Chain A
Amino acid sequence: MLSDTVLRNTINIFITNLQRKQIKGAYHIGRACADIMRTIVSSMTKKDTVQQVIDQCRLVAVMLKQAQPTMFVIGNVVRRVLYIIRDEYAQSNSGTQQTVSADSLHQPNLANLLEAKAELDYTKPVEGDFKANILSEIKELISELDNMNEGISEVAIEHVHSNEVILTIGQSHTVEHFLKVAAEKKKKFEVVVTEHAPSYSGHELVKSLSEKGISATLISDAAAFAIMSRVNKVIVGTHSVMANGGLIAPSGTHLVALAAKKKSVPFVVCCGLYKLTPMYPLDQDSFNDLCNPSEVIPPELYNLKDAHVLNPCYDYVPPELIDLFIMNETGTHNPQYIYRVLAEYYDTRDYDLGVYQD
């Protein structure tokens, strides 16, 4: 499959783009990743076994992840595809072998802990319309990605009422879409946006919302706490949702979440299902990245030779600060339920995709 030069070139170009951060935004990366997975599956032949397909997918996932280790979306999309493949294979074998029911989710529980589990034999070549079924499922996954924002907005709209003041951090396309949909539904509310220095994406959001007739107020990041006593709800996007229900989100989110908790303001996270990541963060440094420090302070300004300037990309937000997750497909959950959602969409064997080896 990977011997296909066209596919290999696509992957290489994608990797280069990832490394140079020329492709930006979780959605675009996830989408491109799903396309690559579809090409891999569609290039499989009659001779290939299911295990080979799975291995190929995992190998590509590891290569892509190596290019941008904190871009969890890549791994997540691959895990979804792997789950589709495993599920489809289990179903096609349900006649011949003992079924591994989708409900047990391969997780040991008291009922099945001591039972000998019948492992599926993945080493057999694929047969019949197995491939076609998988491809159609992947197509569904892609359309799910494309329509993610609509799905979220539909649910989220129930949570906004008239004359509310909503605070959001910087610009998240999901939140932006949701706010616009809510405004179209004739809901009248005010939005307060923190500018999110040094990306300043808040400025863009204020501009974009005002064009839709939504009253938007730009504040500095430092003012989020001060204004919290006037805010009814905090609605933010995130970089990813972790297995413990915490967030890896743009830096500054922890500050706002903590302020919201202190002032008892509901903290709501809107995100696509593809941001669900089966990994456990421990603290601020677990999954983080440092951005360009010159964005924070122009190096020509002072003699900064001896200064350390830090510009972290992400914040870890612990689950106890979050009140609600609004996702497409699965609906709304509290952070304590996230582990269960994970088990519904990923196979436990794919939680760890392996490490990159040269």
Chain B
Amino acid sequence: MTKEERKALYSKQVDNKKTSGNTPHVPSTGQQPRKQSIKSDQAPTPSVAQTKNQEAKQQPSKHQDGKQQQPKLQNQKQLGQKNKVEPTESTKQNRLFSHLDKYVHPDNRINTAINDPKLHPIIVQLGLQYATGAIRGGNARTLALLIALKQVTSDYVQLDTEIMNRDFGNKIVPMIDYLKQFRPLSVGMGNALRHIKQKIFKLNPDLSANENKNKLVEDIDIFIKERITVAAEQIVNNGVARITNGDVIMTYARSEVIEKILTRAHCDGGKRFRVIIVDSRPKNEGRELLNRLLIAGVDCTYVYINAVSHVMKEVTKVMIGANSMLSNGSVYSRIGTAPVCMMANSYNVPVLVCCETYKFSEGTQLDSITRNELGDPHEMCTIERNHMKPVLMGHESNPNIHVLNLTYDVTDMQFVDMVITEVGSIPPTSVAVIVREYRQK
């Protein structure tokens, strides 16, 4: 559903609530967080519901006073308060996932702190891009973060009273916190940040600010090159080498590095193989991959994840990307990766995971529930087929309906046969070893 549609739907609901006539709509951004907090486990307690109604009635009356600008400001203020109140309301969330951060639509987060003097404009911009999904995918998000940090570094002005390695380190913290509220940092981003923070800490206070800034920018550039761009390039080379003529490669959704491997193997490597793209709702990311591979001239089959066992018989290799590798050998990746790998494993089809080492995590996870990210439940309710009615639209009012849109899952080590990295192809058991190597550096 597009933003416009969602807004239209929402304003319709607001209309229904309104008791007094046709005043202009309250900007949807103001009320949406409340609406979403209702969608939760138990019915809202009567007192909360009452106060909501009162607010809804009050707002139109403010419009009637003729103060056109004020309601918006008012809204922002209220929003700020509401964001603070939210944790108490989130107890109504689905019992199974009450430990995860509740999904809040980006529209409702954007107006916080746009003019905050602590934030560099490029960080504000980046936050919005993360929130709307304009920048997504592990590498893209990390690259964007690092490039933004480079900009922040070059724009840094050092006061005579301050020492850069302490002052600059402190200045970055609120910016990272700001970014975190739109989407949790990925493991790769966390690793990159840790690396940069170390570099900041090691800056020489005796040097001039300019020299230090140049040094830091250089360090960031080295990280980007060594750990991300060249690493990705190396993985693509390693991956292409794994594809042989006559292969049927299955991949899940869309991973940038897999796309590069497949197109390069077809165009430059001149290898003859077929690709089966498995995809799933609600994001349907695989469609973009399908489109690009078709343009490149690769022979493609597209199926939904439900059909994965139907097509698995002919598959010779499964290649997937990963959001991160956990140090117990599990793969943390977009939701649906685990069932595809499990099915491949049961058909004795090898599973190859492509992952840069900067995404290797020291953490471990036993199941997909302990740590995860909740996506937009509205995405799940939409149905693309024209003649079908999306029956769950507006389910927020029903306390018995929950819609769960998980973003990641954890693939057990037993389903993975090989991890292709820039330092070579390793078994998943060796992830911990690589993590250790880099820590010692």
Interface residue ranges, A against B (CB under 8 Å)? 165, 190, 192, 195-198, 200, 203-204, 206-207, 209-210, 213-227, 229-230, 251-252, 254-255, 258-259, 262, 283-285, 288, 295-298, 301-304, 306-312, 315
Which A residues are CB-close (under 8 A) to B398?
A: 210
A203 contacts B313, CB within 8 Å? Answer: no
B300 contacts A307, CB within 8 Å? Answer: yes
- Minimum CB distance partner of A206 in chain B: B401
Which B residues are CB-close (under 8 A) to A213?
A: 400
A216 contacts B402, CB within 8 Å? Answer: yes
A-B contact pairs, 24 of them (CB 8 A): A200-B385, A200-B388, A204-B391, A213-B400, A220-B380, A224-B339, A225-B342, A225-B368, A226-B367, A227-B369, A229-B369, A230-B96, A252-B305, A252-B306, A255-B305, A258-B342, A259-B342, A288-B310, A304-B294, A307-B294, A307-B302, A311-B304, A311-B307, A315-B310
B346 contacts A218, CB within 8 Å? Answer: no
B308 close to chain A: CB less than 8 A: yes
Residues 352-380 of chain B, each 1 if its beta carbon lies under 8 Å from chain A, else 0: 00000000000000011100100000001
B309 close to chain A: CB less than 8 A: yes
Stretch of B66-74, B141-149, B179-187, B279-287 that contacts chain A: B279-287
Closest chain B CB from A256 CB (angstroms): 9
Given A197-B280, A203-B383: A310 in contact with B388 (beta carbons within 8 A): no
Q: How many residues in B have their beta carbons less than 8 Å from beta carbons of A?
A: 59
In the complex, besides A190-B95, A224-B339, A227-B406, 19 extra interface pairs with C-beta distance below 8 angstroms are: A197-B280, A200-B385, A203-B390, A203-B391, A213-B400, A216-B402, A218-B380, A218-B401, A220-B336, A221-B305, A222-B339, A223-B409, A225-B339, A230-B369, A255-B339, A258-B309, A307-B290, A308-B300, A308-B302
Complexed CA–CA distance, A288 and B291 (Å): 28
B139 close to chain A: CB less than 8 A: no
Given A255-B343, A307-B290: A296 in contact with B310 (beta carbons within 8 A): no
Closest chain B CB from A291 CB (angstroms): 10
- Minimum CB distance partner of A296 in chain B: B304
Given A218-B404, A219-B404: A312 in contact with B307 (beta carbons within 8 A): yes
Which A residues are CB-close (under 8 A) to B384?
A: 298
Which B residues are CB-close (under 8 A) to A310?
A: 301-303, 307, 310-311
Interface residue ranges, B against A (CB under 8 Å)? 41, 94-96, 280-282, 287, 290-291, 294, 299-313, 335-336, 338-339, 342-343, 346, 367-369, 372, 380-381, 383-385, 388, 390-392, 395, 398, 400-406, 408-410, 412
Of A203, A226, A301, the most chain B CB neighbours within 10 A belong to A226
Q: Which of A206, A223, A226, A297 contacts B392 (CB 8 A)?
A: A206
Which B residues are CB-close (under 8 A) to A315?
A: 306, 309-310
Complexed CA–CA distance, A263 and B400 (Å): 27
Closest 10 CB pairs of A and B: A222-B336, A252-B306, A226-B368, A210-B400, A222-B280, A226-B409, A308-B301, A229-B367, A217-B402, A225-B339
Q: Which of B306, B381, B406, B412 contacts A197 (CB 8 A)?
A: B306
Given A207-B391, A303-B294: A215 in contact with B402 (beta carbons within 8 A): yes
Which B residues are CB-close (under 8 A) to A196?
A: 306
Q: Which of A217, A224, A283, A306 contacts B403 (CB 8 A)?
A: A217
Which A residues are CB-close (under 8 A) to B300?
A: 306-308
Complexed CA–CA distance, A254 and B342 (Å): 11
B400 contacts A307, CB within 8 Å? Answer: no
A258 contacts B305, CB within 8 Å? Answer: no
B309 contacts A284, CB within 8 Å? Answer: yes
Which A residues are CB-close (under 8 A) to B400?
A: 209-210, 213-216
Which A residues are CB-close (under 8 A) to B336?
A: 220-223
Closest chain B CB from A316 CB (angstroms): 8
Complexed CA–CA distance, A293 and B338 (Å): 25
Which B residues are CB-close (under 8 A) to A252?
A: 305-307
Complexed CA–CA distance, A192 and B402 (Å): 9
Which B residues are CB-close (under 8 A) to A224?
A: 339
Complexed CA–CA distance, A310 and B368 (Å): 29
A251 contacts B404, CB within 8 Å? Answer: no
Of A223, A255, A283, A296, the most chain B CB neighbours within 10 A belong to A223
- Minimum CB distance partner of B392 in chain A: A203
- Minimum CB distance partner of A295 in chain B: B385
Closest chain A CB from B434 CB (angstroms): 26
